[in-house]
Copies of this chain bind each other. A is one copy, B any other.
Amino acid sequence: MAHVDLNVALLGCGTVGSEVVRLLQQQSDDFAERCGARLNLIGIAVRDTAAPRAARVPRELLTEDAHALVRRADIVIELIGGLEPARTLMHEALAAGASVVTGNKALLATHGPELHEATAAADVDLYYEAAVAGAIPVVYALRESLAGDQVTSISGIVNGTTNYILDEMTTKGLTYEEALKAAQELGFAEADPSSDVDGYDAAAKIALMASIAFHSRVSIDDVATTGIRDVTAEQIAAASRDGYVIKLLATARRIAHPEPAITLEVAPTLVAQSHPLAAVAGAFNAVVTESDAAGRLMFYGQGAGGAPTASAVLSDVVAAAAKRVYGGHAPRELPYASLPVAPIEHSRGTFVVELTVTDAPGVLASIAQSFAARQVSIAQVRQDTLPDDASAAEEPRASRARLSIMTHTCTRGDIEAIGAELAENPHVLNVASLTPVEE
């Protein structure tokens, strides 16, 4: 079969980039069959051409002039990350007529609309499967596989670092600080872990998924984001007793009231042990979609790492190449639904409120009244007697109790108002959590 030649430029050559180089070398003949084109790697832009590299990286292709490189390419693979110079280089590539493949979730979740518009204006393609959940093809699924359906919610474990930390806390009884330290020593967490543990990485990913699924423009700033720094070993143990695990879930939901809108959240979440997401361990990722006709679908795999992410990049490169050979284009950004993002107070679900209370007559009644006053009905109450304080643990006097109250479906606004009222209740010593429950 005769093939055309396409010039491929790689921007960035770290863990993922060097795996992209490997796959382009090893599977060159396969790729030519699959997309009808020889993919010729014409250059690799890096910050420092003299820095040490994997042996497989052809040194003669290294260049420090990314701007010149993108102008010679049919397909540009952007793996620099961050906002700049990635943003400028992508605009240059698109303007020069190249199709762009990127894994840059932060850039897309911040400046997605302008990049999509530049893509359409240049009549080329923008692919970003690698930006969400590594090797797991959720962008494909949402852009194409669910194009015949109506997505109602997306929830996912999309950050491996926090999932690893919560796993270690659950299985080994570690504190957050201990588990973070272990993750850092193993290279699973950065020295500055904020992007992961504060939920920003997951927030960027759910913003991207929601934009596609709900055909609306959503940015990382629209996501109500709570990280895992405040998750305690006690909460995890209590969840386990009740048949739950705590996962950092990113969720996006279509809501109908008070008006059609989207709610977006990243938060530590109680997940029933029988739920498929509960079994997603360590650095694995999983995304669950619910849609009108297909019902529940789950996509599971490695959400990070050089080779898995490179697999996603190369699938996009093959698709981009096939389009250049055979015509057509990738599904464009289609924000036709233009759903607004609702305040997170409008999100609906079941919630668990954990309280430490004085163990005296009438306390439960006064607490229950706070729920009743807002028409929030209680699904389950669990009361455990607590020792007076840690130092007196050997001789408990049972004057305090831990109350765990699970609601039926209500809004987050209701539950926050109830929490605020309970904090003022003289019998309530502590309001420990308002953790949403994933059903």
Contact = CB atoms under 8 A, between A and B. Distances in A.
Interface of A: 1, 19, 23, 27, 30-31, 33-35, 129, 135-137, 140-141, 144-150, 215, 276, 279, 291-302, 307-308, 310-319, 322-323, 326-329, 331, 334, 336-337
Contacts of A317: 148
Contact of A148 (B276, B298, B311, B337): B311
Contacts of A334: 33-34
A282 to B, nearest CB: 13
B140 A145 contact: yes
A351 B302 CA distance: 28
Given A27-B150, A298-B300, A300-B298, A311 B291 contact: yes
Contacts of A19: 293
B299 A294 contact: no
Contact of A144 (B315, B329, B337): B315
A276 B298 CA distance: 12
B326 A328 contact: yes
Report the 6 A-B pairs with minimum CB-CB distance, sorted nearest first.
A328-B328, A148-B314, A137-B145, A135-B294, A293-B311, A148-B315
B293 A23 contact: yes
A101 B359 CA distance: 66
- Which of A33, A295, A307 has the most B CB atoms < 10 Å from its CB? A295
A31 B150 CA distance: 10
- Which of A31, A302, A328, A336 has the most B CB atoms < 10 Å from its CB? A328
A122 to B, nearest CB: 15
Contact of A294 (B295, B312, B323): B312
Nearest to A1: B336
- Which of A129, A147, A336 has the most B CB atoms < 10 Å from its CB? A147
Contacts of A314: 147-149, 293
A295 B300 CA distance: 11
- Which of A279, A292, A297 has the most B CB atoms < 10 Å from its CB? A297
Given A140-B145, A149-B314, 5 more contacts: A34-B147, A135-B295, A137-B141, A137-B146, A140-B140
A146 B301 CA distance: 13
Nearest to A324: B328
A35 B311 CA distance: 27
Contacts of A336: 1, 33
- Which of A315, A317, A336 has the most B CB atoms < 10 Å from its CB? A315
A363 to B, nearest CB: 41
Given A148-B31, A315-B148, A136 B307 contact: no
Nearest to A22: B293
